Amino acid sequence: MEKKHKIVNLIERLKEEYGDKYVVDNFEQLILATKNDYLSYKFLKNIKGANFKEHEKIILDNKNPAYNYYLLEDFEDADIEKHAQVIIDSKNPRYNYYCAKDIEGVDVGAHEQAVIESRNAKYCYFFAKDVEGANKARLGQIIIKSGDPKYNYLFARSIKYTNVKEHGKAVANSKNAKYNYLFAASVLGADIDSHEKVVMESLDPEYCYKFARGIPESDINKFKKVITESKDPEFCYRFAKDVPGIDRKDLEKAVVESENLPYNYLYAKDIDDADLKCHYQVFLENGNVADLNQFETYIGLPMDYGLSPKRVKTLIKEINEAIPKKVK
């Protein structure tokens, strides 16, 4: 534990045992002498009767935007103009956003300018979304120029009167499969074709599947080809199960060839026209008796599938193990 945290804990223990006045009379000057903004803030917050102006001066002199904001948030007597100016001068996007959002009477335009000059896409987005009177167009331009796919997507989705076309271009140029899918799926006026192209070229089976499943205008057969060639058993199964109007044979073949037991089991269980014989063969080749039993119990043995010599051998072994041995 840092020394300053130990001091705060000690002060709180002394307060509990001797009261606020005892702490002020015996320890306040020691705290002030440290000129530490954290200690002054904690002393003001925890000890009644503390010298507000002296601790406030230390916090102002340290110019830490966090403790200047905390003082404004927690104490009505705090000098709004002085603390807000420290925060503005810091150019810290987080605390300029907090100050404009939470503190009445501050110069919103000055805090906004500090956030804009920081070029921080995250806080430009939050400022536009949460601060009354924010210049959304200016903040949006910073986000577009940043090229950040997440905040271009969030800005276009959440902020009215936004430039959807330019935010969409920024997301497409990022080549990020996740946010291209989300932009196409949830932003009114999105250029579906440009986002589809990015997702398809990413070869990411998860977002290819989501795009085909969730966006009616998508080219499902092209996405099916990407998924099949990925040979990912999870998304081959999901695509076959959730995307209607496709030929599933290639997807099923990829699942079988993966030899992945969970997704072979799910494919056989959930897909109406599944080739049970092929999926059962995967379990048989694996040779795990418990897995075979689960397949046969919950899915059944394929109608035209006779028991192989290998399966007969495992069944005989199961039967022998189940018969109690004679007591000699």
Whether 217 and 181 map to the same domain: the answer is no
For the ranges 252-256, 275-279, 312-316, the lowest mean pLDDT is seen at 312-316
Is residue 99 within 8 Å of residue 87, measured between CB atoms? yes
Same domain, yes or no, for 214 and 155? no
pLDDT in the model for residue 324: 64
Looking at the fold, whether 171 and 245 belong to one and the same domain comes out as no
| Local confidence band at 314 (pLDDT 50, 70, 90 cut-offs) | low
> Does residue 242 share a domain with residue 297?
yes
98 located within any domain: no
∠ CA 75-81-85, nearest 5°, is 110
Residue 134, domain extent:
120-189
236 and 260 together in one domain:
yes
Q: How many domains is the chain partitioned into structurally?
A: 2
In a domain, 59, yes or no: no
239 and 183 in a single domain? The answer is: no
* Upper half-sphere CA count for residue 170 (Cβ side, 13 Å): 23
Cα Rg of the chain (Å, integer): 33
Same domain, 207 and 300: yes
Residue 227 lies in a domain: yes
CB 40 within 8 A of CB 59: yes
Give the tens place of pLDDT for each residue, 73-84. 999 999 999 999
Say if residue 126 is in the same domain as residue 221. Answer: no
pLDDT, tens only, 278-311? 998 898 888 788 888 888 888 877 655 555 555 5
Please state the separation of Cα 276 from the chain's center in Å: 38
Q: How confident is the model at residue 156 (pLDDT cuts 50, 70, 90)?
A: very high
Residue 111 lies in a domain: no
Q: Could you tell me if residue 107 is inside a domain?
A: no
pTM of full prediction above 0.95: no
Domain presence at residue 229: yes
Classify residue 33: in a domain, yes or no: no
Residues 215 and 223: their CA atoms lie apart, in Å, by: 12
Verify that 156 and 237 share a domain, yes or no: no
pLDDT digits (tens, 9 = 90+) for 21-54: 999 999 999 999 999 999 999 999 999 999 999 9
